[in-house]
Structure 1
Amino acid sequence: MPLPRCRPGFSDHIFKSAAGVQLPLRVWPPAKLKGAAATNGGSLEGKGAPWLLWIHGGGYTCGKWTVPTGWVSSAFGDRGYGVVSVGYRLQPQASMLDMIQDCVDAAAWCRNHVAPLGLDPERWAVGGASSGATLAAMVALHAEHKPRAFVNVYGLTDTEHYLDDEASRAPPPDDYVVSNDEELADLVQDWDASNAVVQNPWAGEMPPNVPLEEARAAFGLPDWEPTRAQFVRSDLYSYVAKNRNLMEIVYRRSKFGEDAAFREHVRSHSPYQILQKRKTFPPTFFMHGTGDDIVPVVQSWKFAERLVEMDVDIAEVYDEGKGHVYDFGFENPEDEGWKKNVEPCMAFVERHLK
């Protein structure tokens, strides 16, 4: 199946620099406002549309800020919403705290800069998929200017629970593309912040698995060239899964002596655990497959349970038997998956971003 093309009409921006690494984000104004933008010198200030701040997944290791999940771009863009996709630093050079701070800083940048791009700073939601939902939830908790809704797509929101769950998993078989254990063990130890990257496609999205021009069109990067380092980082995801130590890496286990101190550190930067001490949280939509063996659906169930206890408005779609990234196949609004998952999501968001 060909990779979906990046939706045109975007603009790219740098929202901050960290250790010499520039952190980008990409802004799509809603489709219906593009013509107006052209006739107003590219500015739609004063005519702002609601928008979604989207944070990609990828196990904190891979993923692309240049293109959100396909249905996100089309569902929001075609209904008059803007979409902002965030580039944050990836592990191992970035810790969980670094990634959280990057995404909170991106939200703050948007607060001050999206109005000239056609978006209303007041009417926004934050969303993310998988590990991106961890970061999106932390934005909802820590952003100075709170979003009006949170879209949680098979989100990893209880990282302490995942720490234990990860340790008990059967390791997957080696499926490295270009690397070996020794090279990847060295990479895991690279905590030099100046070496951080903010984007890395999966090996299956790069030549020779797909034609170069198809990949460029999918990423919205006409001059992009694959490198060995990008394949190595894709292998890193497999290496960490095999060693079952993702949480220990991103939360910097080696910096803590006693296990109790490390667990307290994880809890203090885990959305679900923080929620136990909070009285408010944005209205939240949940989308998760019950057959997910990467981020178990219990992650969403527990988070939803807590929000109900807090009297937060929620809506839930649990697609029976579906696995991780099951929404990657949502392309046509007439398809059953779109109707079952995307339509309720959009109805929920529209209700809260009026």
Structure 2
Amino acid sequence: MPLPKCRPGFTDHIFKTAAGVQLPLRVWPPAKPPGPSAANSPSPEQKGAPWLLWIHGGGYTCGKWSAPTSWVSSAFGDRGYGVVSVGYRLQPQASMLDMIEDCVDAAAWCHGHVSPLGLNPDRWAVGGASSGATLAAMVALRTAYKPRAFVNVYGLLDTEHYLDDEAGRAPPPDEYVVSNDAELAELVRDVDPANAVVQNPWASEMPPSVSLEEARAAFGLPEWEPTRAQFVRSDLYSYVAKNRNLMEIVYRRSKFGTDHAFREHVRAHSPYHVLQGRETFPPTFFMHGTSDSIVPVVQSWKFAERLVEMDVDIAEVYDEGKDHAYDIGFEPGDEGWDKNVEACMAFVDRHLK
């Protein structure tokens, strides 16, 4: 399957600098103008298009801020929404707390800067896929500028549960593209924040798997060049999965003397556990495959159950037999799009338009 081309018409911005590392975000205005009710003499609170703050997945290790999942760009853009895609620092140089802080800071930047870009700072939703949904949920819980909806795409929402689940998993095959255990172990030990990166494609998205021209068009980065370090980082994802210690790395287990203290720290920065002490949360759309081998569907079920107890409006699509990242390649008119994307957009429309 060819890589989808990055949607044109965007502008790139730096929303902050951390330890000398510039953190970017990319803003797409709506591909189509807002509907008639917003276009014809809009009230002050309706002025400007609604928009989605999107946070990519990638196991906190890889992923791309420059190109959201293709259905996200097209579905929201074609329906009159802007899309803002966030670059945040990746592990091991960044901890979970760093990543959450980056995404909360991105939301704050947007509130103060999207109006000149044609977006209404108050008419927004936050969403993410997989590990990106962890961060998106924490944005919804912690930002001072409350979103009107949360879009959860097979999100890792209970990181303590994942800590236990991860420990019991069978390790994947020891297959690296360019690296080895010794080099990857050294990389895991590099927690210098000045060495953090904010984007890393998967090996399958880089030459020789695809042409350089195709990769550049997909990332919306016409001068991008692959480096060995990017292939090593792609291998790092496999290395961490093999060692089943992702949560220990991103939550900095080495800083805590006891398992109890470490677990308390994880709970304090895990969306599901933070939610227990809250009385409100944005309306939430859930999209998850029932056979997800990376993030078990119970992650969404538990979060949804708690929101129902809180009387929060939710909508759920659980796609039978689908694995992780089953939405890659969705196109208008196919079964996946009709079942998942149309339901998502109807839910978001109800709360933002």
Question: 1:33, CA displacement in angstroms?
Answer: 4.4
CA-to-partner distance for each residue in 1:55-111, whole Å, 9 max, x for gaps? 000000000000000000000000000000000000000000000000000000000
Q: How does 1:219-298 map to 2 (within 5 A)?
A: 219-298=219-298
2:169 matched residue in structure 1: 169
SS of the aligned residue for 2:26 comes to strand
Question: 1:137, CA displacement in angstroms?
Answer: 0.1
Q: Distance in 2 between matches of 1:122 and 1:304?
A: 25
Relative to the length of structure 2, the TM-score reads: 0.96
Q: How does 1:67-146 map to 2 (within 5 A)?
A: 67-146=67-146
State whether structure 2 residue 62 is matched by structure 1 residue 62.
yes
2:199 matched residue in structure 1: 199
SS of the aligned residue for 2:328 comes to helix
2:152 matched residue in structure 1: 152
1:189 matched residue in structure 2: 189
Q: Distance in 2 between matches of 1:175 and 1:107?
A: 37
CA-to-partner distance for each residue in 1:5-51, whole Å, 9 max, x for gaps? 000000000000000000000000001249xxxxxxxxxxx941000
SS of the aligned residue for 1:318 comes to strand
1:39 matched residue in structure 2: none
SS of the aligned residue for 2:76 comes to helix
2:48 matched residue in structure 1: 48
Letter in 2 for 1:271: P
SS of the aligned residue for 1:146 comes to coil
CA-to-partner distance for each residue in 1:114-170, whole Å, 9 max, x for gaps? 000010001000000000000000000000010000000000000000000000000
Letter in 2 for 1:282: P
Q: Distance in 1 between matches of 2:175 and 2:285?
A: 35
Q: Distance in 2 between matches of 1:207 and 1:258?
A: 44
Letter in 1 for 2:349: E
Q: Distance in 2 between matches of 1:7 and 1:125?
A: 20
Identity rate, percent: 86
Question: 1:197, CA displacement in angstroms?
Answer: 0.2
Letter in 2 for 1:340: K
Q: Distance in 2 between matches of 1:67 and 1:47?
A: 27
Q: How does 1:11-50 map to 2 (within 5 A)?
A: 11-33=11-33, 47-50=47-50
1:351 matched residue in structure 2: 350
1:309 matched residue in structure 2: 309
Q: Distance in 2 between matches of 1:216 and 1:48?
A: 31
Give 5+ residue unaligned stretches, structure 1.
35-45
1:339 matched residue in structure 2: 338
SS of the aligned residue for 1:317 comes to strand
Q: Distance in 2 between matches of 1:151 and 1:94?
A: 24
How many corresponding residue pairs?
343
CA-to-partner distance for each residue in 1:155-212, whole Å, 9 max, x for gaps? 0000000000000000001110000000000000000000000000000000000000
Q: Distance in 2 between matches of 1:150 and 1:303?
A: 12
Q: Distance in 1 between matches of 2:47 and 2:108?
A: 20
Alignment RMSD, CA only? Answer: 1.1
Relative to the length of structure 1, the TM-score reads: 0.96
Question: 1:329, CA displacement in angstroms?
Answer: 1.9
1:37 matched residue in structure 2: none
Letter in 2 for 1:82: G
Letter in 1 for 2:143: A
Q: Distance in 2 between matches of 1:312 and 1:330?
A: 28
Q: Distance in 1 between matches of 2:33 and 2:224?
A: 29
Q: Distance in 2 between matches of 1:312 and 1:189?
A: 42
